Chain A
Amino acid sequence: MVTDMKILRLSLFNLKKNKREALAIVFLTAVTTLMLSVVAVNSIKTGNAFYDSFKASGSFDRIILFEEGTYHDDFYDILKDEYGIGEIMEDRYLVSASTDVIEPDGNTLSYNLLFVTEKTERRIEDFVKAEQLPEDEIANLEHPIWMPENFSIVKKYRPGDVFTVVQNGKKYPFTVAGFYNSGLASSDQLFFKCIIPDSDFALFSMLFHTSFSNTWTGLAFDGGEDFPYRAYMDRCMEVSGENLRSDYNDFNIRSEHNIEVQFLNIFLYLIAFLGMVTMASALFMIRHKISNDIEDQMQQIGVLEALGYRSGEISAAYLFEYVISGGAGALLGGILSLLMTPLMDYGIKMLLGREVSGKAQPLLVILVMIPVMLLVILFALQKAKTVKKYPPVVALRRGIRTHHFGKNLFPLTSAKGNINIRLAWKGLFHDIRSAAGIGICVILSGTALLFSVVTFMFFKDGTKGLESMQSADVDTVLVSLLPGVDPYVAREEIEAMPEVRKALVTYNYEYQMIKGSDTTGMAIVYDDFKDAENIRPYVGRCPEHDNEIMLGLRRAKNENLNVGDSIILTNDGMEKDYIITGLVGSMMNGGSILYLTSDGYRRIDPTSRSYVISAYLADGVSDEAFEEAMNARFGGTAKDLSTRSGAGGSLEDQIHATAEEKIAALMSQYGVTNVDYAIRIGDRMISGNSRNFIIREIRSWRGNIKAQMEPMANLTKRFTLLAMVLIALIVAVILMIIASSNVRRQRRSLGIMKSMGYSSKDLMQQTAMKFMPVIVVSMILASVCCVYINKFFWSALFGTIARTDLLTILVTDLLMTLFCYFVTYIGAGKIKKISVTELMTE
C-alpha cells in the first residue's frame, strides 16, 4: 500500500512537473475522443435520421415516372401481376429540370422540380406538414405552394415567401403556404417535389412540352430496396414495344438515402481522418514524453531501484501518469461530444435537409472512450516497460547517455556556413526517434492540412471548381432550336452576337442504352471535341470518327471497360458498335456519360433533330443579358411567345401578336416546322410567316449546378477552414511541447553552449532547425499523399479526376514549414531561462 502511494506520488509529481506536456496529452486525447465519438455517433444517427424521417412521411419507397405518351397501362399490370405489388398509385407528375426560379431574396437559381397536386401527394405519402401559414391565410392564397422541408431547413425559406417559377421568360409567382416532410424527391441533388393547386398544375401541364419540362405518369409503390428495377423496365419495353431509353425517371429510397447522406459521409470520413491524425500525435507524444522522463529521471530510477523498488513498480508510476492524463482527456472529449450533440444534430439537419430528433448517445461515446484509453495505456505501457532495461548501476550512471560510441555524423571538421545549422542537424541524428515520431505526425497532419487547403481552394469560388469537374462545357448557355432550323446557320448568327465569344452545335443530352448494361448513358455530342473547352480525357483521347466513343471513368470502372474495348449502343432495335478511345472523369450524371461525335451520334439515332447551340458568353456577359439580347434579336423563344397574352397596340399589331402566338404554339408543341399566314381585312392584307422563329428555349446550366451544390460548397469551405485551424493547433501543440521537452532534456548541453558564447537565439535556432529536415521531407511525403488522397477522394465519390493544384501544395508546404519553424523556435523559448551559473553550481 505504501509502495502504491509512493508510485502514485511519482506519477503526480511528473504530471505537476511537466504540466504543459500533460495538458497537451489531455488536449490531444480529448480531441481524438471528441472526433471519433462524433463520427461513431453521427454515422449511425445520419442513417437513422433519414430512415426515421422517411418513415414519418408515410411515403412509398419507389416512384417510377414514364413520360406521357410512352406510358401504357400494362406497366401497372406488370407490377401487380408479375411482381405481386398490392398497392400501386398511378398519378400525373410534372417534371421541370433546370428550372429557373427567383428566390425570395431576388436571386435567380435553377432547380430540378417535380410538381404534384395535393391529391397526388395524399395518395403517395401522408402529407406531413411542418411549419406553415395559418389555414385561413392559405385559403386566401391564389397560388399556394407546399415545399419540402429542405427549403426551410437549408435554404431558410419562411411561410409566406414568394417562390417564382420562370418558364421561358414568363414568371409564375407562388406563395409558400408551408413545408412538409417529403419522403422522396427532397434533395438538391435530385428533385424537389412541390405541391401546387390543381389549376396551376393544369396550366403547367399545358406549358411543359420540352425535353426538360414535361408531363409524366408515375407509379408509386412499395417494392423494397432490392426491387429489380432494370428487369422491370426491360419487361415494360418488351410488352409495350416502346423505347424507354430516356423516357423514365426512377425515385427510390436507396438513391434518395445515398444522395442525401453522401456529403454527410464525406464530412464524417474527414473528421475520422482528423481523429486518426490526432490519435497518432497523442501516442507519439506519450512515447516521446515517457522516453524523456525516463532519461531525465534516470538517477532517480537508480535510487528507487537501489532502495528495493521493482522496475515493474516504477514502470507503473509512468503508466499511471497516462492513465490519469489520457483518462482525463478521453473523459473530457466524451463529455464535449455529448455537449456537442445539438450542434452535430444541426449539422446533420443542414446536410440532410430533414428534421433530426437529437438524442445524446452516451453508451456509444463510452464505447469510443474505451479503445482510446486502451491505446493510450498500451503505448504508455510499452514505453514504460523500458525501465527494466536499467538496473540500478546503469541507471545511476545515467544509462545510455554515458555510453555513446556511435558514428560521428556531420563532423564539424567539414563544417561550412552557419554553425547553428550544422549543430542542429548533428543533433537530429542523436535524436532520431523523436525525429521519426515528428516525421509521422507531420506526414499525417500535413496530409490532412494539405487536403483541407486543396479542398478549400477548390470551393473558394463557390461552385466554380465543381463546374470544372463536370467534363462538359457547363459554363455555357444552351439554346435549343426549333425543328427545321439549320443549326449551322443559327450557330453563325449567334456567334456573331457581341455577347458571345464562341458557339458550337451540339445535341440535347439524350440518354442512350448500352447493350448488356443496367444503366443508360447520357450522350454529349460535338462535331469536333477540339472545340470544347472543358473535356479533357484522363486516358486516351476524344472520339474523332463516327465509330468512336469516350466514356465516363466511373462507368468504365463499373463495367470493367478500357480504352480499346468496344461497346454496343442500342436504339429502337438497332445496334451499333463503338470503340472506346478515351476515358474521362466526370461528376455529371454520376459519371455515366458517353461522348460521341455528331456523325457517331447519328449512327445510333439517325432521325435525331434536337439541335442545341452551346453559347460561350463573352467576358462579363450574364446569362440574363444574353437572354435579353437573344430576345431582341430573334423575337423571343417559341415557348415564351406561345404563352404570351394581352398584346396591345393597333389592330394590325394585335393580329400579328395573336398569329405569332398561334405559330409558336404549333411549333413548340406539335413540331410544325413552317407556317405562313395571311388575313384580309377589307382591302388590307396582313401577312406573316414562321421564319423569325428559330429558338425553342434557352437554358443555363450554371444556375442548376449552383443551386444543387452551393450549400455543400459553402459548408465544405467552412469545414475545411476549421480543419486547417485545428490541424495547425495540433501541430503547434506537438512541436512546442517537443521543442520545450528537448530544451529540458538538453539543459546541460545548452548551458555549456551558452558558456561558450552561443546566445539564446543561436540555441533556439538550433532547436528549431534540428527538425527542419524531417519536417521538409515529411511535407514532401504529405504532398504526395495528398495528391493521391485527393485523386482517390474525387474518383471514389464522384467518379471524376481531381487535378491537384501544385502551386497550392507548394505554397502550403512552404507556409507549413515556416509555421513549424516558428512554432518550434517559440517552443524552445525556455532556453532563455537556462542560466550558465546555475548549471555550474549544480
Chain B
Amino acid sequence: MASSILRTEKLCKSFSNIGVQQHVIKNLDLEIQTGDFTVIMGSSGSGKSTLLYALSGMDKPTMGKVFFADTQIQDFSNDELAVFRRGNCGFVFQSVYLLENQTVLDNVLTGALIVQKNTPALVKKAQELLLQVGLHEEDFQKYPNQLSGGEAQRVGIVRAIINDPKILFADEPTGQLNSSSSRDVLDIFTKIHQSGQSIIMVTHDLKTALRGTRVLYLRDGGIEGEYKMCAYGEDDLKTRRAGLQKFLDEMGW
C-alpha cells in the first residue's frame, strides 16, 4: 500500500491587497500518496498555482499545516524551506527559468551541486538524463537562448529530477510549447512517473491532465471534486479522455 508523502490540514492562504484580504485557499485538507501523478485543475484564479507553491514550500501558508512525510514545514523560515526544497522537491516551470548565463550542463549542475558534492558522478548522471530526454551531446554546452522552447523545457525537467526529489512539482510545463513539443515533454513526465516518481502538476490543458492518475478540481480555494485514473497507457486513451472530460464537465470546466 502506498504511503502518504504530502498532507495538508486546514490549509489557508490569503493575500492582502490595499487592505482587502483575498482568501485564495480555504481550509483545504489534502493527502498525496507516494507514486501518485496528481494533476490540479481549475478555472483561472481558483488557486491552483497558489496551492502548488504552498505544498512545495515555495510559499508559506497563512494558516493550517503542511506535512511532508512526517515533517511539518509550514513554520520553517525561508532559509529552512530552501534547504528543505533542495533535498525533497523538483520544479518545472511554465517559463522554464533556465539561468541565462549558464550552459545547459551547468544549469543542471547548479541544481545538483547544492545537494551533492560528487561532481564527476553528477556530471555523468546529468549527461545521461539529458540524453534520455532527447538532447544531444552537442547541446550540453549551449546557452539557453540557443535552445528551442521544447529543448529548454527538457533541460528544465532534467534540472528538476537530477536530485531524485521525493516529489516533482510542475506548473503548466507545456503552457508555452507547441503541440509537438508538448507531447514530447509529457512523454518524459509519463516516463518519469512510470519509474516511480511522485508528481504534482498544475494545468488547464486536458491532454496534459490525461497523463495523471488523479485529478483534483479546485474552485474558490477548495477541492470541488476528484477523479482517479489508472496509469497512462494502461487503458484506452479514448475512454480515458471521455471519462476525464465528463468529470470536468461536471465540475463546470
Binding site for B on A (CB under 8 A): 401-405, 408, 411-416, 419, 422-423, 426-427, 430, 748-749, 751-762, 832, 835-837, 839-841
Contact = CB atoms under 8 A, between A and B. Distances in A.
13 contacts: A403-B145, A404-B100, A412-B110, A412-B113, A413-B105, A413-B119, A430-B101, A757-B85, A757-B89, A757-B114, A759-B78, A762-B82, A839-B97
A840 B50 CA distance: 11
User: A419, A422, A754, A841 — which one has the most chain B CB atoms within 10 A of its CB?
Assistant: A419
Given A404-B100, A427-B101, A411 B106 contact: yes
B119 A415 contact: yes
CB-based closest 9 A-B pairs: A757-B86, A759-B82, A412-B109, A759-B79, A419-B113, A757-B85, A756-B111, A752-B97, A412-B106
Contacts, number: 110
B111 A415 contact: no
Contact of B53 (A408, A751, A840): A840
A226 B171 CA distance: 88
A756 B145 contact: no
Given A755-B97, A837-B53, A426 B83 contact: no
Contacts of A419: 110, 113-114
B115 interface: yes
A753 B87 contact: no
Interface string B124-162: 000000000000000001010110000000000001000
B143 A404 contact: yes
Nearest to B93: A840
B113 A755 contact: no
B58 A837 contact: yes
Interface residues of B, number: 41
Contact of B91 (A403, A755, A762): A755
Contact of B100 (A401, A756, A841): A401
B113 A760 contact: no
A408 B145 contact: no
Contact of A759 (B83, B87, B141): B83
Contacts of B181: none
A423 to B, nearest CB: 7
A757 B111 contact: yes
Chain A's interface: helix, strand, loop or mixed, by majority?
A: helix
B1 to A, nearest CB: 30
Contacts of A752: 97-99
B27 interface: no
A411 B113 CA distance: 12
Nearest to A408: B103
Contacts of B105: 411-413
B252 to A, nearest CB: 24
A403 B101 CA distance: 10
Contacts of B103: 408, 411
Contacts of A430: 101
B99 A758 contact: no
Nearest to B165: A757
A836 B119 contact: no
Contacts of B106: 408, 411-413, 426
A811 B212 CA distance: 62
B6 to A, nearest CB: 17
B113 A837 contact: no
Nearest to A404: B143
Interface in B47-61: 49-50, 53, 58-59
B86 A756 contact: yes
Contacts of B83: 757, 759
Contact of A404 (B93, B113, B145): B145
B143 A405 contact: yes
Contacts of B111: 756-757
A426 B110 CA distance: 11
B78 A753 contact: no
B82 A760 contact: yes
Contacts of B82: 754, 757-760, 762
Contact of A757 (B59, B87, B100, B145): B87
Given A412-B110, A413-B123, A836-B53, A761 B100 contact: no
B171 A756 contact: no
A217 B123 CA distance: 93
B79 A749 contact: no
Contacts of B109: 412-413, 415
User: A404, A412, A423 — which one has the most chain B CB atoms within 10 A of its CB?
Assistant: A412
A404 B101 contact: yes
A837 B91 CA distance: 12
A414 B53 contact: no
Contacts of A759: 78-79, 82-83
User: B50, B95, B103, B119 — which one has the most chain A CB atoms within 10 A of its CB?
Assistant: B119
A749 B99 contact: yes
Given A749-B101, A753-B99, A416 B110 contact: no
A488 B178 CA distance: 106
B102 interface: yes
Contacts of B100: 401-402, 404, 749
B165 to A, nearest CB: 10
A756 B143 contact: no
A753 B110 contact: yes
B171 A840 contact: yes
B144 to A, nearest CB: 9
A837 B59 contact: yes
A756 B98 CA distance: 11
Given A415-B113, A755-B93, A762-B82, 16 more contacts: A411-B106, A413-B106, A422-B113, A430-B101, A748-B97, A754-B82, A755-B85, A756-B110, A758-B82, A758-B114, A759-B83, A761-B79, A835-B59, A837-B49, A837-B59, A840-B53
A785 B123 CA distance: 44
Given A755-B85, A837-B59, A426 B114 contact: no
B97 A414 contact: no
A395 to B, nearest CB: 16
A587 B23 CA distance: 80
A414 to B, nearest CB: 7
A752 B79 CA distance: 15
A408 B110 contact: no
